Amino acid sequence: MMSTSTQGPDALGANVLTIALIGPDQQRRGAVAIALTGLQAGVTREFPRYPELDEVPRMLEDNYDVIIVDLDSNPEYALDLVETICSSGSPTVMVYSAQADSELLVRCMRAGAREFLTQPFAPGTIAEALVRASVRRPSARPAKKTAGRLFVFLGAKGGSGVTTLACNFAVSLAAESGQNALLIDLHLPLGDAALDLGITAQYSTVNALQNAARLDSNFLSKLLTKHSSGLSVLAAPGKFTPDKSTHDDIDKLLAVARQDFEYIVVDAGTRLDLASSTLFEQASAIYLITQVSIPELRNSNRLVSEFFAKSAAKLEIVLNRYTPRSLGVDEEHITKALTRPATWRVPNDYATARRTQNTATPLSLEDSPISRVIRQMARTACGLPATTEKKKRFGIF
Number of domains in the chain: 2
> Do residues 49 and 84 both lie within one domain?
yes
Do 181 and 174 form a contact (C-beta atoms < 8 A)?
yes
What pLDDT, in 10s, does the model give residues 101-136? Answer: 889 899 998 999 999 999 998 888 888 999 888 887
Domain-terminating residue out of 107, 136, 165: 136
Residue 383 has pLDDT above 50, yes or no: yes
Give domain status of residue 392, yes or no: no
What pLDDT, in 10s, does the model give residues 202-237? Answer: 999 999 999 988 888 888 999 999 998 889 999 999
In whole angstroms, give the CA distance from residue 340 to residue 318.
12
pLDDT for residue 64: 87
Confidence of residue 295 (pLDDT cuts 50, 70, 90): confident
> Do residues 131 and 165 both lie within one domain?
no
Do 268 and 276 form a contact (C-beta atoms < 8 A)?
no
Give domain status of residue 389, yes or no: no
CATH number, position 222:
3.40.50.300
Give domain status of residue 163, yes or no: yes
Domain-terminating residue out of 104, 136, 168: 136
In whole angstroms, give the CA distance from residue 146 to residue 158.
34
Do 36 and 126 form a contact (C-beta atoms < 8 A)?
yes
In whole angstroms, give the CA distance from residue 225 to residue 164.
18
In whole angstroms, give the CA distance from residue 222 to residue 271.
26
- H/E stretch holding 118 reads strand 115-118
Residue 351, classed as helix, strand or coil, is: helix
Q: Facing residues of 97 across strands?
A: 118
> Do residues 279 and 223 both lie within one domain?
yes
> Do residues 369 and 286 both lie within one domain?
yes
Going across the sheet that includes 149-155, the strands are: 225-226, 232-234, 181-185, 263-267, 149-155, 285-290, 315-322, 344-347
Residue 49, classed as helix, strand or coil, is: coil
CA nearest to 119, candidates 70, 49, 47, 48: 70
> Do residues 61 and 84 both lie within one domain?
yes
Give domain status of residue 395, yes or no: no
pLDDT for residue 389: 53
What pLDDT, in 10s, does the model give residues 157-195? Answer: 988 999 999 999 999 999 998 889 999 999 998 889 999
> Do residues 119 and 201 both lie within one domain?
no
Percent of the chain past pLDDT 70, that is, above it, reads: 89
Give domain status of residue 200, yes or no: yes
> Do residues 244 and 295 both lie within one domain?
yes
Give domain status of residue 291, yes or no: yes
> Do residues 325 and 195 both lie within one domain?
yes
Residues near 372 by beta carbon (within 8 Å), at least 6 away in sequence: 389
Give domain status of residue 215, yes or no: yes
What pLDDT, in 10s, does the model give residues 40-98? Answer: 565 668 888 999 888 888 888 888 889 999 999 999 999 999 999 988 777 899 999 99
CA nearest to 52, candidates 21, 80, 18, 92: 80
Q: What is the CB neighbour count within 10 angstroms for residue 218?
A: 16
pLDDT for residue 1: 40
Residue 138 has pLDDT above 60, yes or no: yes
Residue 319 identity (one-letter amino acid): L
CA nearest to 6, candidates 40, 39, 41: 41
What pLDDT, in 10s, does the model give residues 348-374? Answer: 887 777 777 777 778 777 888 899 999
> Do residues 124 and 189 both lie within one domain?
no
In whole angstroms, give the CA distance from residue 215 to residue 11.
32
CATH number, position 48:
3.40.50.2300
Q: Give the domain range for residue 344.
A: 149-381
Give domain status of residue 35, yes or no: yes
pTM of structure: 0.63
Residue 392 has pLDDT above 50, yes or no: no
